[in-house]
Structure 1
Amino acid sequence: MPPESASYEMRKRELLAAARTGRLQGDAPLALAKRTSNLFRDPGTGPRHRIDLGGFDHVIDIDTAAGTLQAEGMVSYEQLVAATLPHRVMPAVVPQLRTITVGGAVAGVGIEATSFRQGLVHHTVLEIDVLLPDGSIVTCTPHNAHSDLFFGFPNSYGTLGYALRLVLRTLPVKPCVRVEHVAFQRAEDFFAALAEACTGDADFLDGVVFGPHSLVLNVARFEDGAPSLSNYGYERIYYRSLLDTPVDHLSVHDYLWRWDTDWFWCSRNFGAQNPLVRRLFGRSNLNSRTYTRLMRLNARWGLTKRLARWRGVHTESVIQDVDIPLSAAPAFLEFLQRETGILPVWICPVHAPVETARFTLYPLDAGTLYINFGFWDVVESRLPHEAGHFNRLVEREVLRLGGIKSLYSDSFFTREEFDGAYGMAAYEALKRRYDAGRRAPHLYDKCVLRR
């Protein structure tokens, strides 16, 4: 048994002892006490009984022979990558931002450029220890007595419990990644090339839409060496390189965190792409952790809202990741540009592995290649609209095209729309079995009503 496994068992026993003494119980709905969060929706103003699981932040084991790792739920992907790369492996899917935790990526939905073959983060999970709302702990696998919770846990956002320990698949790596940036002028050609690349030998695939006639497909492969290595951790900005660097080489570490330095391109909202401001920020502050902190301060103080009122415009944050079947991808992109005008847009293909295709709360068809559209900006209008107007347009179009969206940001679904899209009939059965006392909030209440 690895030494960290014994430490994990000790922490688990202490948690169970706390549950027996009632220290995990309270009158208010359960919530997780976290120092950071990658949710982009109002958590609500009601009282919460917060559980601190911050001590469950250890990498337990890396088994290169089996191609697996064990980690506790509060381990960040920054920690996990740092632990795995010396063993010449990486988690099979590494979400784009360093502060995302392993448990959070499974309770939510995690994606990246290996997803065209590996699926979403939860498709790479083999086992989960879940702390249930009543304070008990169950181990879930695809084939044991708690397989219903194994397949129901992803996209549950803490409403069925919290991940204490997870076993995930890994992938072997080489020292470098070679990235080819292929430019297209037509969306139809871009999506056709992306679909073809999904059947080839690439290790990573994603893309960016810069404009109606400017789309770039990024095809990346592991390599043993490179003539030189680019670095986008300080002065250089990664997404701009897609337009002027046909072939690029990065270390595996820098490739995995290529988007984090500028939060894709959202650092421009803080002036951090200005060379002078960039130097004032400093290398250590150019990361998603800093931008998230600034975003939450702005939300608290309402600075941009006040500025918008002074300018005489109405604003709405449209921060979404949606998965659309490939056949409908060009139509969705045209809709998105017509209705919101948001650019750039991140593109990432995802294909659910056949053996784990249909997770209860985030159903994807195994035979379908989906295209993830990531778009994160503020839409301005001279005319007032009801709250959530542009987000509602997106949600309706996603459902119309047979897609599904992540729930990490604001949602405005009706109860009927939500029930049909996210498997609420099966969810209610899970709530009855694993949260009979209704200690945790309902998924719709948490993600849409923000209760």
Structure 2
Amino acid sequence: MGELALKQKLFRWMEDHRGIIIVFFVLPLSIIFGWVMKLHHWIQCKMISAHEGHDKKVKTVQQKVRKWCDLMPAERKMMCTARPNWQSLSTTFFRKDQCHQIPIPLYDILDLNTEKMFVRVEPMVSVGDITAFLVPRGYTLAVCLEVAEATLGGLAMGVGMTTYSHKVGLYQETILAYEMVLADGSLIRVTKDNEHRDLYYCLPWSHGTLGFLVALELQIIRIKPYLKLEYMPVRGQKEYCDKMREVSGAIDKDYKAPDYVEGTIYNKDEAVIMVGNFSDVPPDEMFKINCISAWYKPWFYKHVENFLKTGYDYEYVPLQDYLLRHNRALFWVVETMIPFGNHPLFRLLLGWMLPPRIAFLKFTTTPGVRVMTFTKQVFQDIVLPMNQLEDQINISHEVFNIYPILVYPCRIYDHEPHSGQLRPPRQEQRVPGTNYGMFNDLGVYGVPQQVKERKQFDAVDAMRKMEKFTREVGGYPFLYADTFMTREEFDQMFDMTAYEQMRKKYQAEGAFPHLFDKTKPEIDVIEVGKQFMDPL
């Protein structure tokens, strides 16, 4: 009893002093871990070839899966990767302790093919790794997330979107091939043109419930050293929504859209829209270069907010700085944990240690902090049709009242009904004359205004209203975040027809958890939400 009481006191102290833990423990651990990964990257670059090592590691994965197959049926637990929950970017903690865990130690960049314009990687390669590898060589991923810690395999089995997505679509559209170990231990290569075409369209959004990913080929694009980034402050909701639709090409398929497009909404009536194009820097404009990701610089969203006061302007941003522009502040999530993180003095003394690694933040998540992540905070990315951008903002304002809000335009293609978890865009959502609709990511992160004002906030009611709106307009939440749907509502939102067929065809039933079970919160969010409705 004494030991239990001590643990409870420790958990309570961690909850009350999480900022101290992050500054004095999480940040130093993050730096050390980053140095280790850089050393790994340096060693990797010195290797003549990683193929032989890759093949050997994949065979080991196959052997472990086959050993699971040899178990008596009563002894088999469903399989999952052995990667600890705290190392993933999901806000949930899937019960891996109830599964048969298979190690997937695949961290290498395998091949860069500049003729066919793809890079072949193992699934545990991070965005930070691939950006550091490609950009100096004059390339980047067609869809490159802003968070360095995200893994390329995690994005492939989940979902990814970035400010180039208005040109190419979701991350899944840029995957040329998946290499998968199935439930029987066999190794297959999956493309949109081979005999596994049906599986190709179901692997995105499957979250590791159809097999183990062991390699993938990703589309790359050529770049220039800099991006000419224009900042356009817009006032009036209709005005900035119309501008977003215009610059993304949502209205006219022949419109020459810029290379990168994004918007940050600072309140219901004000936003800054950013457009960027690959560029060299004219000799007479060298003073316009801004390394926005430098550790001593203001956080990017704070920098952008200044243009609401100063008006339109542009600058030249080194491409790697742009690609990881939201990394130091994890968009604006770090502010909820380190409120003074953007203070000039903090940036000067400790800014070089940011960002805290999400893995270590999850490692310090006590039961109380876990409850707080959905009862007092919001972390949601939602794919919604851009023709209803005003409605998105209004419902978000009604149920959350959180700002800033992130908006990334993105094509959602029609791959025919029942060909994957995403339904084809509705006719009124399509860009005229194309086979895609222009959607957008609505990124809502932070503390609702009701919580800040110490008023009652019903997280369950708010999220269920948002999910109902999302279902009605044909949208989808990213499944890394907490969901509040019943199984019936989940099946209404996602097209599970082909997914269920693939579960049977590739022997995933009984071998891997179902997508709904894999992604639902590990706690009863409805019941816990009722217990935490009182004001702070």
Does the pair score TM above 0.5?
A: yes
Change (3 A) 1:9 1:296: closer
Partner of 1:360: 420
CA contact (8 A) 1:267 1:273 kept: no
Q: Does the CA-based 8 Å contact 1:130-1:164 persist in structure 2?
A: yes
* SS class of match (2:112): strand
Q: CA deviation at 1:132?
A: 1.9
In 2: Cα distance, 1:233 partner to 1:252 partner: 13
Structure-2 residue corresponding to 1:52: 103
Check conservation: 1:321, 1:405, Cα contact below 8 A: yes
1:273 aligns with 2:342: yes
Give the conservation status (yes or no) of the 8 Å contact 1:431–1:438. Answer: no
User: How far, CA to CA, are the matches of 2:117 and 2:246 in structure 1?
Assistant: 28
Give the corresponding residue for 1:316.
376
What whole-Å deviation, never above 9, does each CA across 1:60-109 have from its counterpart, x for those lacking one? 11111211111111111111111212321111100121111111101001
Mapped partners of 2:200, 2:156: distance in 1: 10
- Specify the alignment match of 1:311 in structure 2: none
1:434: Cα distance to partner? 1.6
Aligned counterpart, 1:261: 328
Other-structure match for 2:403: 343
Tell me the CA shift for residue 17 of structure 1.
3.2
Match of 1:206 in 2: 262
Contact 1:18/1:24 (<8 A) preserved? no
1:378 aligns with 2:427: no
CA displacement at 1:133 relative to structure 2: 3.1
Change (3 A) 1:189 1:402: same
User: How far 1:136 sits from its partner (Å)?
Assistant: 2.3
AA in 1 matched with 2:133: A
Q: Determine if contact 1:123/1:352 at 8 Å carries over to the other structure.
A: no
Contact 2:237 2:390 in 1 (8 A): yes
Residues 1:239 and 2:305 aligned together = no
Q: Which residue of 1 aligns with 2:54?
A: 8
Whether contact under 8 Å (2:418, 2:497) holds in the other structure is no
- The SS at the match of 1:426 is helix
Are 2:189 and 1:139 equivalent residues in the alignment? Answer: yes
Does the CA contact (< 8 Å) of 1:109 and 1:154 recur in 2?
A: yes
User: 1:355 and 1:423, CA in 2 relative to 1: closer, same or farther beyond 3 A?
Assistant: closer
TM superposition shift of 1:211: 0.6
Deviation (angstroms), 1:352: 3.1
Which among 275, 278, 302 is matched to residue 368 of structure 2? Answer: 302
C-alpha deviation, 1:448, in angstroms: 2.2
Do the aligned partners of 2:158 and 2:205 also contact (CA within 8 Å) in 1? yes
Q: Residues 384 and 341 from structure 1, CA distance in 2 versus in 1: closer, same or farther, beyond 3 angstroms?
A: closer
Of 203, 222, 225, the match for 1:153: 203
Q: What code does the residue aligned with 1:191 have?
A: C
Structure 1 position 28, deviation (Å): 2.8
> Matches of 1:204 and 1:30 in 2, distance apart?
39
Question: Which residue of structure 2 aligns with residue 34 of structure 1?
Answer: 83
User: Which letter does structure 2 place at the counterpart of 1:203?
Assistant: D
Q: What amino acid sits opposite 1:174 in the alignment?
A: K
Letter in 1 for 2:495: G
Q: How far does residue 286 in structure 1 lie from its aligned partner after superposition? A: 0.6
- Pick the structure with more helix per residue: 2
Alignment partners' CA distance in 2, 1:143 and 1:171? 22
Q: How many angstroms does 1:391 deviate by?
A: 1.4
Q: 2:275 aligned with 1:224, yes or no?
A: no
Structure 1, unaligned stretches of length 5 or more? 309-313
Opposite residue 57 of structure 2, the aligned amino acid is R
Deviation at 1:364, TM superposition (A): 4.6
1:119 is the counterpart of 2:169:
yes
More off after superposition, 136-145 vs 340-349: 136-145
- Tell me the amino acid that sits aligned with residue 27 of structure 1: R
**SS of alignment partner, residue 363 of structure 1:** coil
Identify the range of structure 1 (267-276 vs 328-337) with the bigger mean alpha-carbon deviation. Answer: 267-276
- Greater share of strand residues, 1 or 2? 1
Pair 1:334 & 2:394 matched: yes
Shift of 1:15: 2.6
- Give the residue type in structure 2 aligned to 1:13: K
**Percent same amino acid at aligned positions?**
24
Matched residues, number: 439
Two-structure CA RMSD over aligned residues (Å):
2.6
Cα separation, 2, equivalents of 1:14 and 1:303: 37
Shift in Å at residue 325 of structure 1?
1.0
Change (3 A) 1:259 1:384: closer
More divergent stretch after superposition (401-410 vs 9-18) = 9-18
> Unpaired segments of 5 or more residues in structure 2?
1-47, 249-254, 308-312, 426-434, 524-536
Q: Alignment partner of 1:225: what SS?
A: coil
